[in-house]
């Protein structure tokens, strides 16, 4: 295997801390697949998650829809991260979202069975896996903290969007009707429309029919904090 690819593997969160010789021992027992996609679906929401999928390069878009179909949100997953590692094990291994390639994307895939019959032989890899799952649990806890008290629609909206996203950075596209959004946030539709229009005038969102595009959620959150 090329030296550059070996260096890439050693930089992965899964293999950090291994020596080159140790990595070679791992690769002698596993068969990673390199998957290439172009403007196509990678995974579908509801499917069983069976492989560790690592985004080597390219733009992967995550699209999550509510079970009732009343809203959906899309965001970009960062390069050099795993796709929905939290769904690999547990009582429910169904994927929580759709994932698609925007342009050309390369993924590195490992069957999750390797986590038991190969990766378990290396204590550093076991520790890395534990760290990955702890990071997932901590991120999930941060996303699902109690909603803000009171009737501050700004705060409730930002909390609502954060709870649906995995990546705190990057553009978000929330598809929802004004009526449904107002119902979720506990206000009337007219008030909801006035607030969204004020955000658009401030350059914080772009609005179209049943879609709110948020280029920078932290910036919108900061605006909300400054105006409350």
Single out the residue in 143, 166, 195 at which a domain terminates. 143
Percent of the chain with pLDDT over 90: 53
For the chain, the domain total comes to 2
CA 104 from centre of chain:
19
Q: Is there a single domain that holds both residue 13 and residue 70? A: yes
- With respect to residue 148, please indicate whether it lies within any of the assigned structural domains: no
For the chain, list the strands marked E by DSSP: 33-38, 41-43, 51-65, 71-77, 98-111, 172-176, 206-208, 211-214
Q: Is there a single domain that holds both residue 95 and residue 162? A: no
The predicted model gives 212-221 an average pLDDT of: 92
Burial string for 45-66 (b: 16+ CB within 10 Å, else e) reads beeebebbbbbbebbbbbbbbe
The CATH code of the domain that includes 221 is: 1.10.10.10
The predicted model gives 136-158 an average pLDDT of: 79
The predicted model gives 52-61 an average pLDDT of: 94
What is the model's pLDDT at position 228?
Answer: 46
Q: Is there a single domain that holds both residue 11 and residue 59? A: yes
Q: Is there a single domain that holds both residue 135 and residue 160? A: no
For residues 186 and 108, which has the higher predicted lDDT (pLDDT)?
A: 108
Q: Is there a single domain that holds both residue 127 and residue 56? A: yes
Single out the residue in 81, 112, 143 at which a domain terminates. 143
CB 34 within 8 A of CB 80: no
Give the C-alpha separation, 228 to 9, whole Å: 46
The answer, yes or no, to whether residue 210 has pLDDT greater than 50, is yes
- With respect to residue 202, please indicate whether it lies within any of the assigned structural domains: yes
The predicted model gives 114-123 an average pLDDT of: 88
The answer, yes or no, to whether residue 32 has pLDDT greater than 80, is yes
Phi, psi of 64 (to 5 degrees): -115, 130
CB 128 within 8 A of CB 72: no
Residues forming beta bridges with residue 59, ordered by sequence position? 102
The answer, yes or no, to whether residue 66 has pLDDT greater than 60, is yes
Q: Is there a single domain that holds both residue 167 and residue 210? A: yes
The CATH code of the domain that includes 48 is: 2.60.120.10
Which range is least confidently modeled, 62-66, 68-72, 97-101? 68-72
**Mean per-residue pLDDT over the chain, rounded:** 88
pLDDT band at 69 (very low <50, low <70, confident <90, very high): confident
Q: Is there a single domain that holds both residue 130 and residue 173? A: no
The predicted model gives 94-105 an average pLDDT of: 95
Q: Is there a single domain that holds both residue 109 and residue 34? A: yes
Single out the residue in 89, 117, 143 at which a domain terminates. 143
- With respect to residue 195, please indicate whether it lies within any of the assigned structural domains: yes
What is the model's pLDDT at position 105?
Answer: 96
For residues 23 and 168, which has the higher predicted lDDT (pLDDT)?
A: 23
Q: Is there a single domain that holds both residue 108 and residue 18? A: yes
Q: Is there a single domain that holds both residue 55 and residue 91? A: yes
Please list, in sequence order, all residues whose beta carbon lies within 8 angstroms of the beta carbon of residue 224, skipping any fewer than 6 positions away. Answer: 152, 154, 155, 157, 158
Q: Is there a single domain that holds both residue 169 and residue 105? A: no
What is the model's pLDDT at position 61?
Answer: 96
Residues forming beta bridges with residue 213, ordered by sequence position? 173, 206
Domain with 197, as residue range(s), is: 153-226
What is the pTM assigned to this prediction? Answer: 0.85
Give the C-alpha separation, 142 to 78, whole Å: 18
For residues 104 and 140, which has the higher predicted lDDT (pLDDT)?
A: 104
Q: Is there a single domain that holds both residue 97 and residue 23? A: yes
Give the C-alpha separation, 32 to 101, whole Å: 20
pLDDT band at 224 (very low <50, low <70, confident <90, very high): low
Tokens 């679906």 — which residue? Answer: 41
**Which among 204, 157, 213 is positioned nearest to 180, based on CA atoms?**
157
- With respect to residue 122, please indicate whether it lies within any of the assigned structural domains: yes
């Amino acid at each position: 295997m090329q030296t550059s690819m070996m260096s890439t593997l050693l930089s992965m969160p899964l293999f950090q801390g291994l020596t080159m010789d140790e990595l070679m021992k791992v690769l002698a027992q596993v068969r990673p697949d390199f998957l290439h996609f172009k403007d196509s679906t990678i995974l579908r929401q509801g499917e069983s998650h069976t492989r560790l999928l690592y985004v080597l390069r390219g733009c992967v878009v995550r699209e999550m829809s509510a079970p009732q179909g009343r809203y959906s949100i899309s965001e970009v997953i960062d390069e050099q991260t795993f796709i929905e590692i939290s769904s690999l094990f547990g009582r429910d291994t169904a994927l929580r979202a759709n994932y698609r390639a925007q342009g050309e994307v390369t993924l590195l895939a490992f069957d999750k069975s390797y986590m038991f019959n190969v990766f378990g032989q290396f204590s550093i890899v076991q520790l890395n896996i534990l760290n990955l799952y702890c990071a997932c649990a901590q991120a999930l806890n941060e996303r699902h903290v109690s909603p803000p008290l009171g009737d501050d629609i700004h705060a409730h909206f930002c909390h609502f969007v954060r709870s649906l996203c995995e990546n705190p950075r990057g553009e978000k596209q929330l598809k929802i009707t004004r009526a449904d959004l107002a119902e979720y946030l506990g206000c009337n539709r007219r008030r909801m429309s006035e607030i969204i229009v004020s955000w658009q005038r401030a350059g914080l969102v772009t609005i179209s029919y049943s879609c709110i595009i948020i280029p920078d959620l932290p910036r919108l959150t900061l605006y909300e904090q400054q105006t409350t």
